Amino acid sequence: MLQNLLNLKEVKLFFSRYLKELPDFSKALNLEVLDIHFCSQLTSVHPSILSLEKLEKLDLSHCTSLIELTSDTHTSSLRYLNLKFCKNIRKFSVTSVNMIELDLRYTQVNTLPASFGCQSNLEILHLGNCSIESFPLCFKNLIKLQYLEVRYCQKLQNLPVLPPSLEILLAQECSTLKTVFFPSTAEQFKENRKRVVFANCLKLDEHSLTNIVSNAQINITKFAYQHVSASRHEFHNKFNNYNDDDSYQALYVYPGSCVPEWFEYKTTTDYVVIDLSSSTSHSPFLGYIFGFVLGGNRLIVDMLKFNITLCVEGQGKEEDHFELYISRPSANIVSDHVFMIYDQQCSCYLNSKAKDITRFKIKVTTRLSSMHPRSYSDICMMLKGFGVNIINTSAYHNFIQKMGLPDSTRNISSGIEM
């Protein structure tokens, strides 16, 4: 006989190792949270749970005996669904029009339901270490998706055109990934990618790699321009209040052995000489986009560190330097990789040092922090290529013109009034 569950709002039964099944919750009309993670003996979820009209959060993570979670109807209230480490789940077909975050990491789910695209409010999707093989055609309908993780998906062979709302794509260690699809150039200018990682995706075809380079140029250049277009006062305040917020940094990582051709300054040494004497437009602030080619290193890496030093000819070596950090893109890098990065604080540092100087040298040293139990100190990492591309208003507009985009598209893409 069902108890009166009308006033029940939260149920937390996590770490209930003897729990094998759940009762009928159809009378729990006001239930908002159901947290039953680490219930390793739970084998099924009662259908009534997925029909509750006020349920917002369902946490079934680490319920390792679950083999499926399916529903014939679309829920309307569910916002957060966590199935992480439900390692035996193979069938999954739950959708909610108000879903914000879905976690399917470490599951055996190999396909998403055909109705997945109805989740137009989805912002975060975790698919790392799962068995996903392909994405439904409706995936591009996820117009609010900002974060997509597919790292260590060993069966994934292609990535579809992703919605322009996406800011972070983590696709490292996808050993079978061959093809990445991109929309038209004009559509790519609607994107706001901030972190895109294809580390150790060594089977990517040449066409996909070429498109990744082009996509990186568009997104990082636009990202840099949005920062350097800020007023002097805004730039100064952001520099002083900087706190390692990812919103100040854009990064692309992919397999490659050379700095892209679009970089104005390129070298195989550890420094470049910047000459701004012939610049036709003087800007109070410049954006410095860096390209690094790093050799493979099988050490377990926690953090990459780039020491950036500005030297002025005739004034000796600068004593201070800027430390540019990148959290590890993968446990280790097994071959040459390109790292393209724009960091606002680094540009502020270089602008403060260069000021009105038109000729100077930028020198870089690369190091990594090892997690090896016998070595916790910084270790040098092989730098095989180094490039710098400088962005100001004139350079950005020239880039837009080269891309063949009309003025209206340029204004929209920059996000800044001109």
Q: Residues 132, 155: contact at Cβ < 8 Å? A: yes
Mapped to the 3 state alphabet, what secondary structure does 207-261 carry?
Answer: HHHHHHHHHHHHHHHHHHHHHHCCCHHHHHHHHHCCCCCHHHEEEEEEECCCCCC
CA distance 70 to 94: 5
Cα–Cα distance, 411 to 418 (Å, whole number): 7
Tokens of 29: 């009309």
**What is the CATH architecture of 6-181?**
Alpha-Beta Horseshoe (3.80)
pTM: 0.91
Angle between helices 344-354 and 206-228 (to 10 degrees): 60
DSSP letter string over 321-372?
Answer: -EEEEEE-SSS-B-S-EEEEEEEHHHHHHHHHHHTT-SEEEEEEEEEEEE--
- pLDDT by position in tens, the chain (length 418): 345 678 899 999 989 988 999 889 999 999 999 999 999 999 999 999 999 999 999 999 999 999 999 998 888 899 999 999 999 999 999 999 999 999 999 999 999 999 999 999 999 999 999 999 999 989 999 999 999 999 999 999 999 999 999 999 999 999 999 999 999 999 999 999 999 999 999 999 999 999 999 999 999 999 999 988 874 445 555 444 444 456 789 999 999 999 999 999 999 999 999 998 876 555 678 999 999 999 887 665 567 889 999 998 766 655 678 999 888 787 778 899 999 999 999 999 999 888 878 899 999 998 876 555 555 456 777 899 999 999 998 899 999 999 887 654 445 444 443 3
Domain 249-413: which CATH class? Answer: mainly beta
Strand (E) or helix (H) holding 399: helix 393-402
Are 115 and 94 in contact by the 8 Å Cβ rule? The answer is no
Domain extent listing, the chain: 6-181, 249-413
Rg (CA), the chain: 25
Q: How many CB atoms lie within 10 A of CB 24?
A: 12
pLDDT at 418: 32
pLDDT at 117: 94
